[in-house]
Chain A
Amino acid sequence: MAVYKGFEPVIGLEVHAQLFTESKMFCGCKSEYGAEANTLTCPVCLALPGALPVLNKKAVEFAMRMIAAVGGKVHRRSVFARKNYFYPDLPKGYQISQFDKPIGEGGAIEYHSGNGSRKRCRLTRIHLEEDAGKSLHPEHGEGFTRVDLNRCGTPLIEIVSEPEMESPEEAYGYLTKLKQILQYIEVCSGDMEKGHLRCDANVSVRPVGSEKLGTRTELKNMNSFKGVERALKFEIVRQIDLIKAGGKVEQMTLLWDEKKQVAEPMRSKEESHDYRYFPEPDLVNLVIGDAWIESVRLSLPEMPDVRADRFVSQYDLRTYDAAVLTDSRALADYYEQVMTHFDDARAASNWIQTELLALLKDNKQELHDCLVSPEMLGELLSKVKSGDISGKMAKTVFEAMFATGKAPDVIIKEKGLVQVSDESSLIPIIEKVIAAYPDNVAKYRGGKAKLFGFFVGQVMKETDGQANPQTVNKLLKERLDG
Chain B
Amino acid sequence: MPLEKAQVEHIAHLARLKLSPDELEKLTLEMAVIIDYFEQLQMVDTDGVEPRDQFITAENVFRDDTVRPSLKQGQALGNAPESDGKFFHVPKVIG
Contact = CB atoms under 8 A, between A and B. Distances in A.
Interface of A: 21-23, 27-30, 36-43, 46, 54-60, 79, 84, 86-88, 101, 135-139, 142-149, 274, 276, 279, 281, 283-287
Interface of A (DSSP majority class): loop
A276 B14 contact: yes
B92 interface: yes
B53 A57 contact: no
B68 interface: yes
A149 B59 CA distance: 29
A146 B87 contact: yes
B91 interface: yes
Interface in B64-95: 64-73, 76-77, 82, 84, 86-95
Contacts of A274: 14
Nearest to A30: B67
A57 B62 contact: yes
Nearest to A155: B65
Contacts of A281: 54-55
A55 B63 contact: yes
Given A39-B76, A41-B76, A145 B91 contact: yes
B67 A22 contact: yes
Contact of A144 (B65, B68, B92): B92
Given A22-B65, A41-B70, A284-B58, A144 B95 contact: no
B92 A145 contact: yes
Nearest to A28: B68
Given A23-B66, A146-B87, A79 B53 contact: yes
B53 A279 contact: yes
Contacts of A86: 16
B54 A285 contact: yes
Contacts of B56: 284
A38 B60 contact: no
Interface of B: 14, 16, 53-56, 58-73, 76-77, 82, 84, 86-95
A54 B92 contact: no
Contact of B86 (A28, A37, A55, A286): A37
Contacts of A46: 71, 76
Which of B55, B65, B92: most chain A Cβ within 10 A?
B65
Contacts, number: 128
A29 B70 contact: yes
Contacts of B68: 23, 27-29, 42
Nearest to A139: B95
Contacts of A276: 14
B83 to A, nearest CB: 8
A57 B64 contact: yes
B63 A56 contact: yes
A313 to B, nearest CB: 38
A147 B91 CA distance: 10
Nearest to A87: B93
Which of B72, B84, B94: most chain A Cβ within 10 A?
B94
In the complex, the 4 A-B pairs of residues with the closest C-beta atoms, listed nearest first: A28-B68, A58-B65, A146-B87, A57-B62
A321 B61 CA distance: 47
A145 B90 contact: yes
B87 to A, nearest CB: 4
Nearest to B55: A281
Contacts of B76: 38-39, 41, 46, 149
A380 B88 CA distance: 57
A144 B70 contact: no
A57 B86 CA distance: 31
Contacts of B88: 38, 88, 146-149
A54 B66 CA distance: 12
Contacts of B54: 79, 279, 281, 284-285
Given A38-B73, A38-B77, A138 B92 contact: yes
B62 A56 contact: yes
B70 A287 contact: no
